[in-house]
Amino acid sequence: MAELGTTARAVIEGRNGDPFAYLGMHSVGGAQCVRVFLPWARRLWVVDAVTGEVAGELARLHPDGLWSATLGRRPRFRYRLRAEGGLGTVEFEDVYAFPPVLGDLDIHLLAEGTHLESWRVLGAHCREHEGAAGVSFAVWAPNAHRVSVVGDFSDWDGRRYPMRLRHAAGVWEVFLPGLGPGRSYKYEIVGADGALLPLKADPYAARAEPSPGTASRIVARSRHDWRDRAWLDERWRANERDAPISVYEVHPGSWRRVPEEGGRYLTYRELGEQLVPYVRDMGFTHLELMPITEHPFDGSWGYQPIGLFAPTSRFGTPDDFRAFVDSCHAAGIALWLDWVPGHFPTDPHGLARFDGTALYEHADPRQGFQRDWNTFIYNLGRREVANFLLSSARCWIDEFHVDGLRVDAVASMLYLDYSRPAGDWVPNEHGGRENLAAITFLRRMNELVFGIGRGATTAAEESTSWPMVSRPTYLGGLGFGFKWNMGWMHDTLRYLSLDPIHRKYHHNDLTFGLLYAFHENFILPLSHDEVVHGKRSLIAKMPGDRWQRFANLRAYYGFMWTHPGKKLLFMGGELAQEREWNHDRSLDWHLLGDPLHRGVQQAVRDLNRLYRALPALHQLDTEPEGFQWIEAGDSEQSTLSYLRRGRDPRDVAVIVCNFTPVPRAGFLIGVPHGGRWRERFNSDALEYGGSGLGNAGMVEALAHPVHGQVHALSLVLPPLATLILTPDAAGA
């Protein structure tokens, strides 16, 4: 060791941050010198790559595996290494003979924070470089002293493949010739203070090891043959404000499992074969998956992701996921993904203190730590971090053809004091509580999706009264396509959980939402959050005896599907699942053997089909012209009646809800047309498990002014039921 220089010792000890300046071929005093670090070799030669002749044998400078050879005065030449080891003799390219992979433009855009396709250059990519097949690795770690790629191909030894730093962008890169897909890898990082960090997964990995493994996986170039061009050309129609949008929210790990194989998950391809036809049969227009971005902990349901570019390996490969997307589109189903740009977990192999500093997160815990979830908060004001997230959004749309992103926990991003006591947050530059960096980021994200997404859309889970969430950025809005209506959900569930005898005192819970129903492009969500953590399932929230609970739920669905706003129902809601959702178990499909459960499923199926078929129920969902009260004030009898309209004056529907178990004969409501009106839906129908009370499918309007209308319907109003009626064309 004494005769070795400082750089040589740094290589052996894994402290060298500039390996390309020492390893590989270099001119020293006019001669060519080749240096190699290869611990497993017994003997090592330099071979002329053109002639195949041995140019010289390397001498071992240190027992740990540092080798060197001086080849005399000759021009620089293309060479290979031939090594003799315990398993024989092999010949291979020298990693440190290759120039950089990333071009100057990539480096410039990465440094600028404007490389919106950064996943194409960062991460691990199978490619040909300088005539050799292999894998390029690139990772952003500007404050690291040394970064190495490690894996089973290097015996997880960080001294083997230290990377080259591209100083302008803080990006480290290396090309490993001869490496191929399927291998596991991580990054070994030495911080600026010289401390060795826990091995890090690749933030840009295209795939990860199956849990509980935490390494990243090298993925071959996609071989999927997309067949959805016609869908992509027209998908804007599925996501328009005037389109029927009925979303089935799914946790893919617990929708259905395979009990005969130990309760394993369905794969992406099996989900394409089973889930997609089910969604289509049920009449839903959209499928929303809870986060499938790679995440270490099953119990986070995906909402604490680490791999924002990787479909979770729990269900298969990236190409398996592409096949699933294709199957959705072939069935006419739009696919939305839950996406989480607000925070990330503290797992040591993840983004936390990635290069030994607060790189992705804020350094100040008053800005950078979310105590509600024990997670770190992205520093959205840092251009490289914003670019990382924007690239992720674009990747899912470009690479995987998804049709929309539902952004989780937007309120936690918008407010600096979100869930924080006084003194535990940092005001913005104007002294306010608004997170200006997050506002800028969300607007950029939405502009990106709508600008390049060919009809893709976005939705915000935003639980406050922040204005103009779903209005365009050029008008001062955040630019989302839609916003979840959390207020409607809370109010109506509170109302439905009451015994009917008390509902007349809380009538406002049903009507209040119409005061703001058109301020945003709303989605009415009955999501997973409402059926976990002791909140009980939807059917369990309903009061009364067993028959009444099911009648309440069917009436509620009828109200929801006819209320202004798009629809979202979490899986199991259509089955009237009795127990709370458990991410470790399949839905209780056996319940469909019970007529009451099967009846709820059929009611949801019929509501979806009617919602799609009647423009009056969806075309003006976000416009005040699409809704008109008939009678909103009948709190004493706990009834509601209202009109829904389409753009064509002939497209009209009448909805009547009775939220008491008391049937009402001769119930009079005003309608805008004479003639016959068809009873298109009755949640009390026998096939749904109801009592069968109703209007025999048809009612003749009376010339009787009431409720400001010139005609009236005298209805039999079933108990705990919703009716939908439309003018009968044949009798008009």
pLDDT tens across 19-78, in order? 999 999 999 988 999 999 999 999 999 999 999 999 999 999 999 999 999 998 888 899
Residue 730 confidence (pLDDT): 46
Question: What is the model's pTM?
Answer: 0.96
Positive or negative torsion for Cα 397, 400, 402, 407: negative
| Residue 189: inside a domain | yes
What backbone torsions phi and psi does residue 182 show, to the nearest 5 degrees?
Answer: 95, -15
Please state, in angstroms and rounded to a whole number, the distance separating the CA atoms of residues 118 and 21. 27
Q: Are residues 680 and 723 in the same domain?
A: yes
Q: Residues 348-380: pLDDT tens digits?
A: 999 999 999 999 999 999 999 999 999 999 999
Confidence of residue 3 (pLDDT cuts 50, 70, 90): low
Residue of 602, 589, 580 whose CA lies nearest to 528? 580
Range(s) of the domain holding residue 650: 624-731
User: Which of the four pLDDT bands, split at 50, 70 and 90, describes residue 731?
Assistant: very low
62 belongs to a structural domain: yes
What Cα–Cα distance (Å) separates residue 216 from each residue in 157, 343, 350?
16, 20, 11
Characterize the bridge pairing of strands 676-682 and 721-727: antiparallel
Contact (CB, 8 A) for 127 and 155: no
Please check whether residue 192 is in contact with residue 288, taking contact to mean a CB–CB distance below 8 angstroms: no
Q: Which of 85, 195, 89, 81 is nearest to 132 (CA)?
A: 81
Measured distance CA(619)–CA(187) in Å, rounded: 52
Whole-angstrom Cα distance, residue 424 to residue 432? 14
Q: Domain containing 181 — which CATH number?
A: 2.60.40.10
What count of Cα atoms within 13 Å lies in the side-chain half-sphere of residue 622? 21
pLDDT tens digits, 370-406:
999 999 999 999 999 999 999 999 999 999 999 999 9
pLDDT interval class at 609 (50, 70, 90): very high
Residue 553 has pLDDT above 90, yes or no: yes
User: What does the alpha-carbon distance between residue 647 and residue 414 come to, in Å, rounded to a whole number?
Assistant: 36
- The CATH number assigned to the domain holding 642 equals 2.60.40.1180
**Average confidence (pLDDT) over 156-179:** 97
- Give domain status of residue 351, yes or no: no
**What's the average model confidence in pLDDT over 271-287?**
98
Per-residue pLDDT averaged across 630-656, rounded? 97
Contact 291, 302 (CB under 8 A): yes
Cβ neighbour number for residue 386 with a 10 Å cutoff: 22
586: how many CB neighbours lie within 10 A of its CB?
18
Closest CA to 392 of 466, 470, 340, 469: 340
Return d(Cα 539, Cα 576) in angstroms, integer: 6
Q: How many C-beta neighbours within 10 Å does residue 156 have?
A: 16
The CA-atom distances, in angstroms, between 627 and each of 202, 247, 562, 644, 676 are 51, 21, 10, 5, 21
Residue 283 domain flag: no
Decide: 462 and 483 in contact? Cβ < 8 Å.
yes
Catalytically annotated residues: 408, 461
Q: Is residue 569 part of a domain?
A: no
Distance CA 558, CA 307 (A): 40
- Mean pLDDT, rounded, for 636-665: 97
Angle, alpha carbons 216-218-219 (nearest 5°) = 120
Domain final residue, candidates 43, 74, 97: 97
Q: How far is CA 307 from the centre of its chain?
A: 11
Q: How far apart are CA 353 and CA 197, in angstroms?
A: 9
What confidence tens digit (pLDDT) does each residue in 519-530 have? 999 999 999 999
Distance separating alpha carbons of residues 369 and 424, to the nearest angstrom = 11
Binning pLDDT at 50, 70 and 90, where does residue 580 land? very high
The pairing of beta strand 171-177 with beta strand 246-250: unpaired
Peptide bond into 162 cis (omega under 30): no
**Pairing between β-strand 404-407 and β-strand 334-339 as defined by DSSP bridges:** parallel
| Category of 286 on φ-ψ map: left (φ > 0), alpha (ψ -120 to 50) or beta | beta
Residue (of 68, 74, 84, 86) closest to 22 by Cα position: 68
Largest CA distance in the chain: 109
Same domain (yes/no): 63, 126: no
Cα(45)–Cα(535) distance, integer angstroms: 69
**Is there a contact between 585 and 629 (Cβ–Cβ < 8 Å)?**
no
Are 132 and 71 found together in one domain? Answer: no
Closest CA to 732 of 657, 672, 677, 651: 677
* Best CA proximity match to 220, nearest among 139, 294, 150, 135: 135
Whose tokens are 């952004």? That residue is: 407
Cα–Cα distance measured from residue 115 to residue 390, given in angstroms and rounded to the nearest whole number: 9
Q: How far apart are CA 692 and CA 241, in angstroms?
A: 35
Angle between helices 546-562 and 595-613 (to 10 degrees): 10
Q: 65 and 150 share a domain?
A: no
Please determine, for residue 83, whether its predicted confidence score (pLDDT) is greater than 90. Answer: yes
**pLDDT digit string, tens, across residues 683-714:** 999 999 999 999 999 999 999 999 999 999 99
Instruction: Name the more confident of 74 and 217.
Output: 217
CA atoms within 13 A on the CB side of 669: 31
pLDDT at 732 over 80: no
Q: Domain for residue 140, yes or no?
A: yes
Shared-domain flag, residues 82 and 139: no
The strand pair at 334-339 and 286-289 is best described as parallel
- Domain check: are 49 and 109 in the same one? no
CA atoms within 13 A on the CB side of 268: 21
Instruction: Please check whether residue 675 lies inside any domain of the structure.
Output: yes
Taking CA atoms, 698 is separated from 407, 675, 729, in Å, by: 44, 10, 12
When divided into structural domains, the chain yields a total of 3
Whether residues 34 and 112 share a domain: the answer is no
Contacts of 233 (CB under 8 A, 6+ apart): 454
Interatomic CA distance for residues 532 and 518, integer angstroms: 30
pLDDT for 29: 84
Give 291-319 as a 3 state SS string.
CCEECCCHHHCCCCCCEEEEECHHHCCHH
Q: Is the dihedral of CA 586, 589, 590, 594 positive or negative?
A: positive
Minimum mean pLDDT range among 72-81, 171-180, 399-408:
72-81
The one-letter amino acid at 266 = L
End-of-domain residue from the set 81, 97, 113: 97
Note whether 89 and 183 are same-domain residues: no
Would residue 314 count as lying in a domain? no
Q: Do 123 and 26 fall within a single domain? A: no
Whether 682 contacts 723, CB under 8 Å = yes
Judge if 200 and 114 occupy the same domain.
yes
- Tokens linked to 555: 């009436």
* pLDDT score recorded for residue 2: 43
Instruction: Name the domain boundary from 217, 248, 264.
Output: 217
Q: How far apart are CA 597 and CA 587, in angstroms?
A: 13
**Do both 83 and 139 map to the same domain?**
no
117 shares a domain with 42: no
Q: List residues bridging with 670 in a β-sheet.
A: 712
Q: What percent of the chain has pLDDT over 90?
A: 97
Q: What three-state secondary structure class fits 256? A: coil
pLDDT at position 377, please? 98
Average pLDDT, the chain: 96
